[in-house]
Amino acid sequence: MVIPIIDTASALDASRPTPLGLSTPQPGLPYADSPAPDSVNVAVFAPDLRHVELAYQAPGEDWRAHTLPYQEDGVHFGIVAGMPPGTRYGFRAGPKEGGLPVSVPAPDFDRVAEATEDGQPLLLDPYGRAVDQRGEFLTSVRMDSTFDWGDDFARRIPMRNTVLYEAHVRGQSMLHPGIPEHLRGTYAGMAHPAMIKHLSELGVTAIQLLPVHFHLDEAHLQDLGMTNYWGYNTAAFFAPHADYATEAARNAGPHAVQDELKGMVKLLHAAGIEVLLDVVYNHTAEAGPDGPTLSFRGLAEDRYYRHDAHGRYLDTTGCGNTLDFSDPVVVGMALDSLRYWVNEFHIDGFRFDLAVTLCRNEGNQFDPRHPFLTGIAEDPVLSKVKLIAEPWDVGYDGWQTGRFPEGWADWNDHFRDGVRRFWLSDRAAIEAGGHGSPVALLADALSGSAGLFAPSGRSRLASINLITAHDGFTLTDLVSYDRKHNEDNGEQNRDGHGDNRSHNHGVEGRTENGAVVAARALSIRNLLTTLIMSVGVPMISAGDELGRTQNGNNNAYCQDNHIAWLDWSMSHESSAILQTTKELIELRRSFLRHQPWDFPAKADDSFLQWFDDKGKRMTPIRWHDPSLRVVQLLMGAEDSEIRGLIVVNGSKDDLKIVLPEILSESGIGKRMFELRFTTSELHGHRQGAWVASGERDILQANTINIYRT
C-alpha cells in the first residue's frame, strides 16, 4: 500500500514555525484557505535533518506520512490535516529528495517506526503532550486540554508558612489500607480522602512530588529486572508519566491520564495543599553516546547536548549526557515546559534537580544571571510560583548553595550536614570518649543560615531546611545504621553515598534492646524538632513521620517494592513519631501566627538573640568553645504578643540553665516562660510548666526545650 504525501500548499500562509510542537493553525490570514477539520500546525526544531517527515495515525485510521514543507532557522513546519486529539505521531528523517512518496504497509506500527532510509527510529516530539508506549515503541500523542477546574485557584502560600512534604506518587499509597487497591500507587491514590486526611492532619502545606514527567528505565536496570523507581530519567518534558495513573485511566487513553493528574491537583488544592513538581531538565533518557535515540539526539544532537572541543559529551549530571543550557533553544524548551505545567496543570512550583547544570554558561561555568534564571524572573507566570534549587551538580565548581538569585530557595546541605553532625556523629564521638563540635554549627542551622544567603540578596527564607530526602537514609535509618546497605541494588554496595553522618546508637540495624530503641527515639525527636522549629522552610521526607525504614539502603532509586514504599502499619514507635511531628508543626504554626507577616525576612523589629546556659549573651569566645554544647535562642518581634525560646543541650549531662531576661525599650524585664515542648521523656509530665526569666530550669542531656512568653 502506497501512502501519498498530503498536499497542503494551499495552507501556506497559515503555517508558522512557532510555537513548537502541535498547535491550532491561525485562521483568517491573508491568502490562506481555511484549514481542513482536525488540521494542526506542526513545528519541530531539527537543524540536523535536511527534511523531516511526520508519521501519524488518527484514532481508527491507518498510518500516514507527511513531509513538512517549510524550514526557518532550523525549524521544520507545515499544516497537517486529519490529526484529531488522540492521534499518535512521531518524526523521522524525510526522503532525501523532497516530495517522494513513502511506501509503508499500514497499520503495521513496527514497520512505520523502522521505515526510514537509514534505519532511524520514529522520534518523539520534544513538545509532545503525551507519550504512548507499546513495548519499545514510543509515539507522541496529540492532546486537547479541556478539564473542568471549577473554582480552583493558586493559593500562593507564603514561604514562611510553608511546610514541604517530599513524596513519590507510587510509593505514597501502595500499602495504605484505607485506600482501595485499584487506586493505590496512582495520582488518584495521592488525592484519596484518606491520604488528604493524613496530610492535612500532619500540617503540611505543600506536597513536592518526585518526577511525574514521562521517564524510562536505564538499560542496566532493565538487564537486572529492575526499574528507575525515582523517575529521574525524563524522556518527554511536557508529558505526564502514564504508569502513575489508574488502570482504568490508562485503558481509556492519554486524556484520561491527564485528567487524573489534574484531578489530583484540584483535590489537593481544595484541601489547602499546594503541589510542586521535582523536574529534571539537566539530562534526558537518551543517556550517553551509546544510549537510545528517542528524540533530541535524532533531531538536533549538537544543539540539545553539551559537548567539549573534541565533540565528546560533557557530563555534569553523572547520567551520560547534559542538556546544553548555553543554547537558547534548550532554555526556551525548559521555560515553555514549566509554563505549560503551571498553566495547564495548575502546578504551584518546582524543585529543580541538579539545578547548577541549568545555569552553566557557554564556558560551562555557573552564572547567577544566566538567561534561564532571568527568563524565569521576567516571566509573568513563572515568576509567581515557588522555585527551589538543588544547588549542585557533579561538574567542576558544582556546589553553589547560597548563590541562586532572589526569588529562589535552595536545598540547604549546610543545614542537613550540620544538624546530622551535632545530633548524631558528634554524639557518637562523645559517647566514645571524644569531643563534639561547637554549638555554633547548630546555631547557624537554627537561624536559617543567614550568612549563606545574604550575599545573593536573599533572606533566611531562602533556606529549604532538610535532614533527609528521597536520596539517602530515611530518618529512622539515620539513627539505626552506621553504614549503607545497598546490596539489593545489584551493584555490590558500591552505589550510594558513604558520608552519612549517621549513628546507630550501638547496634547496626533493627534491635529489641530497650536502651538503644529509647536513645534512637530521642535522636529522632531532636532531629525533627531542629528541622521544624528552625528559621527557614522545613521539608519532611515522606514516611519519616511514620518511622519508615529502607533497612539501611540509602540509594533506593531502583526499589519499586516494600523497601521504598511507605509502611502504614502503625506500631507504637511510628505512632509516637507521628504525634511528635504533628505537635511540632502546630507549634511552629502557632508561633508564626503571632508574628508580623514579614517575620523573619524583613521585619525591622524582628530579632534572634543568643544566650548561654547562664542566660548571658553569647560571646565570640563562647561560640568557638568546643566544650560548650548548650545555647538558647530567643526569637520574635518587639510588638508581637508571643516570643519563642529554643534551648539546646547537646552534652551528655543534665544541666541547670538560667532562662534569659528580655531586653525591651523599657529596659530588662522579667517574663514568664511556658514550656511548650521538650524532646526528653518527661514531655508529658512537664509540658505547660512555667519558669520565670532569670530563674533556673533543668535541661536533660541531649534534649531540646521550647518555651514561649
Active-site positions read 353, 390
Q: CA-to-CA distance for 324 and 282, rounded, in angstroms?
A: 8
Contact 293, 123 (CB under 8 A): yes
Residue type at 532?
I
C-alpha distances in angstroms, 406 versus 12, 240, 455, 461, 537? 45, 30, 10, 11, 15
Strand partners, 208: 166, 276
No. of H helices and E strands in the chain?
A: 19, 31
247, three cell numbers: 488502570
Summarize the chain as % helix, strand, coil (round to 5): 30, 20, 50
Q: Which residues contact 204 (CB under 8 A, 6 or more apart)?
A: 163, 164, 165, 273, 540, 585
HEC readout, 42-53: EEEECCCCCCEE
Return phi, psi of residue 539, to 5°. Answer: -125, 120
Angle between helices 254-270 and 193-202 (to 10 degrees): 40
Comparing CA positions, the residue from 258, 330, 332, 266 lying closest to residue 300 is 330
CA pair distance 407, 95, nearest whole angstrom? 48
Look at strands 2-3 and 63-67 and give their pairing: unpaired
Nearest to 545 by CA among 520, 578, 572, 575: 578
Identify which of 505, 504, 515, 679 has the alpha carbon closest to the alpha carbon of residue 581: 679
Contact 63, 55 (CB under 8 A): yes
- State which amino acid sits at residue 590: S
- C-alpha cell of residue 80: 497537517
Instruction: Judge contact between 608 and 602, C-beta under 8 A.
Output: no
